[in-house]
């Protein structure tokens, strides 16, 4: 066993003495040592319950003959970090999580790992670590939050809460109405209740084969979540016994499956950052262009919030991710021969699975649309691509041309939106918010929610080299690459320039003559970095394009 490096032989007597200082017995050290990577903290609602998940995991490990040893991973609450400098520190934690988990696992020579994440960067960060370490590993998340309920019986969620701020600023909602959303949008622990980034990534962890059925959908408050955690603790011991490793599971075919499920579910656009980054750790290249190929042949089967009025608890009741995958197999859209953390193939896992609610998971013969939930647009404004959650775009905004309203930061844009300076037909451009220019590639949930809350989401588009929350809806186009800080064409846009968006054709164009753009390019000077010290300054020097998943070099 790997752990023999720290527990066996006379030369490891000093190591054993330190284990004994921790209270471990000789019998425990003779068993496989399983690292339990727990992201519990007291600042993220999706992580406040992870201590209970960890206890259940450890019980499962012990039942199966292993010795569980818990250590932490950090996590940021994107909702609390939203709208201020804190959001610059969200995406960057993905690499911190991967790096610190690698360091702990290598330093202590665990035989296997159980990863307990839940929220936006925590899930991909730990998947990156699992791929990099390539020792037997399994994932079990903390589970999604229940949807909220307003006093009139309407169900609600965090995306409604953010949009309520825009409605309040526009005078469409009073203070009492705002407070009603505030008190009801987030009623329990768990990752926020729609198909936002956290739930997207937890569902895709099932789809890629690294988590047991229900990982993405069993609500955080249900006891079934604790039973799932116990089963994960037991199953990691089987993975150790059979030496089944993450890269045996996360193959090119598995990533193809995950992208296909992504399109069917209508996941967050952030998946287009995270899947390439995880694949990169597996030595696999995922291109944005490939995502369009998958989208064009994958029907969109689910409209969970913010695209619709259903929530994660509804998806679980309908059969969960496995039921979505079962629908996709009817047209041969998944490779079911791939291995999974169950020790069985995907085909074996899907035996007997049924779609229990065709209103929540549309049958593949009757999809919401014949194409997937995400589209990658290209053109002279984004030569390397940009991303939109087309499943959450109103029909009248699928094709749109309008004048650019240009802002060099999210803060300037949100001030203009709140001041009523954005009008019907505008194309809001927010730049210098990319991975390098931000630095940190902030999510733009505040401006997109303000636009939606003011009733302009069917009339105004927003384009940025930053990114969006999974809670964003409307014609919100992010990840514009190359970003402005690298001299990408978005840096050359001027107030009033016409921008043409054609989502069905996957095109985005800046309607300015090339000669004029060349003159602007010759005069362009990169602004001074906004942050010149600390982790963000180091991150800015190492981070690559969003088109590559914003991985570090």
Residues serving a catalytic function are 469
Question: For residue 491, what is the DSSP state?
Answer: G
Q: What are phi and psi of 423, to 5 degrees?
A: -125, 170
User: Residue 34 is inside which H or E element, if any?
Assistant: strand 33-38
Give the dihedral of Cα atoms 381, 433, 516, 500; nearest 10 deg: 40
Q: Retrieve residue 36's tokens.
A: 């339990």
CB 150 within 8 A of CB 160: no
Using DSSP's 3-state secondary structure scheme, residue 400 falls into: strand
The DSSP bridge partners found for residue 507 are: 378, 502
Instruction: Kindly report the length of the chain.
Output: 553
Residues in contact with 431: Cβ distance below 8 Å, sequence separation at least 6, in sequence order: 406, 407, 408, 437, 464, 465, 480, 483, 484, 490, 491, 493
Residues 493 and 520: their CA atoms lie apart, in Å, by 9
Handedness of CA 170, 173, 175, 181 (dihedral sign): negative
DSSP-assigned states of every residue in 299-366: -B---BTTSSSB-HHHHHHTTHHHHHHHHHHTTT-S-TT-B-TTSSBHHHHTTT---S-TTTS--TTS
Query: Interhelix angle for 223-242 vs 50-63, to 10°?
Result: 40
R_g (Cα) of the chain, nearest Å: 23
Helix (H, G, I), strand (E, B), or coil: what is residue 137?
A: strand
> What is the rounded distance in angstroms from the CA atom of residue 97 to the CA atom of residue 113?
14
Secondary structure (3-state) at 66: coil
Contact 144, 220 (CB under 8 A): yes
CB atoms within 10 A of CB 176: 7
The alpha carbon of 168 is separated from its chain's Cα centroid by a whole number of angstroms, namely 29
DSSP 413-475: HHHHHHTT---TT-EEEE-S-STTTTTS--B-HHHHHHHHHTT-TTT-EEEESSB--TT--SS
Residues 180 and 151: beta-carbon distance below 8 Å = yes
């Amino acid at each position: 066993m790997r752990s023999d490096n720290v527990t066996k032989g006379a030369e490891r007597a000093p190591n054993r003495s330190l284990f004994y200082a921790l209270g471990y017995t000789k019998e425990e050290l003779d068993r496989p040592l399983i690292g339990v990577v727990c992201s519990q903290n007291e600042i993220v609602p999706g992580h406040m319950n992870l201590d209970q998940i960890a206890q259940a995991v450890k019980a499962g490990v012990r039942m199966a003959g292993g010795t569980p040893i818990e250590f932490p991973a950090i996590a940021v609450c994107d909702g609390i970090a939203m709208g201020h400098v804190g959001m610059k520190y969200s995406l960057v934690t993905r690499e911190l999580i991967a790096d610190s988990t690698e360091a702990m696992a290598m330093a202590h020579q665990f035989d296997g790992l159980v990863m307990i994440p839940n929220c936006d960067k925590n899930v991909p960060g730990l998947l990156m670590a699992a791929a990099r370490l390539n020792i037997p590993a399994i994932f079990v998340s903390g589970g999604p939050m229940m949807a909220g309920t307003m006093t009139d019986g309407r169900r609600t969620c965090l995306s409604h809460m953010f949009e309520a701020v825009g409605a309040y600023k526009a005078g469409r909602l009073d203070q009492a109405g705002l407070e009603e959303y505030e008190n009801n949008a987030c009623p329990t622990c768990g990752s926020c209740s729609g198909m936002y980034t956290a739930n997207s990534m937890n569902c895709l962890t099932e789809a890629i084969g690294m988590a047991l059925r229900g990982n993405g959908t069993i609500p955080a408050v249900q006891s079934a979540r604790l039973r799932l955690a116990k089963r994960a603790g037991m199953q990691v011991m089987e993975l150790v016994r059979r030496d089944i490793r993450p890269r045996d599971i996360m193959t090119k075919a598995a990533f193809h499956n995950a992208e296909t499920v992504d399109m069917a579910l209508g996941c967050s656009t952030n998946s287009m950052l995270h899947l390439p980054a995880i694949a990169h750790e597996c030595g696999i290249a995922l291109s944005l262009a490939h995502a369009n190929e998958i989208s064009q042949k994958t029907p969109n089967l689910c409209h969970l919030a913010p695209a619709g009025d259903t929530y994660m608890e509804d998806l679980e009741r309908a059969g969960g991710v496995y039921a979505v995958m079962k629908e996709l197999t009817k047209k041969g859209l998944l490779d079911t021969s791939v291995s999974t953390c169950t020790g069985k193939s995907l085909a074996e896992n899907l035996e007997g699975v049924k779609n229990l609610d065709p209103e929540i998971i549309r049958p593949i013969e009757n999809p919401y649309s014949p194409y997937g939930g995400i589209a990658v647009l290209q053109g002279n404004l984004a030569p390397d691509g940009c991303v939109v959650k087309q499943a959450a775009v109103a029909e009248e905004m699928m094709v749109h041309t309008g004048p650019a309203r240009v802002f060099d930061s999210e803060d300037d844009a949100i001030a203009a939106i709140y001041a009523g300076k954005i009008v019907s037909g505008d194309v809001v451009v927010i730049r210098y918010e990319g991975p390098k220019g931000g630095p940190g590639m902030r999510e733009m949930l505040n401006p997109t929610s303000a636009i939606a809350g003011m009733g302009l989401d069917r009339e105004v588009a927003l384009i940025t080299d930053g990114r969006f929350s999974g809670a964003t809806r409307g014609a919100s186009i992010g990840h514009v690459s190359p970003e402005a800080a690298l001299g990408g064409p978005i840096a050359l846009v001027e107030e009033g320039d016409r921008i043409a968006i054609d989502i069905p054709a996957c095109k985005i164009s800046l309607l300015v003559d090339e000669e004029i753009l060349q003159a602007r390019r010759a005069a362009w000077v990169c602004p001074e970095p906004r942050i010149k010290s600390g982790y963000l300054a180091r991150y800015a020097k190492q981070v690559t394009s969003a088109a590559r998943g914003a991985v570090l070099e």
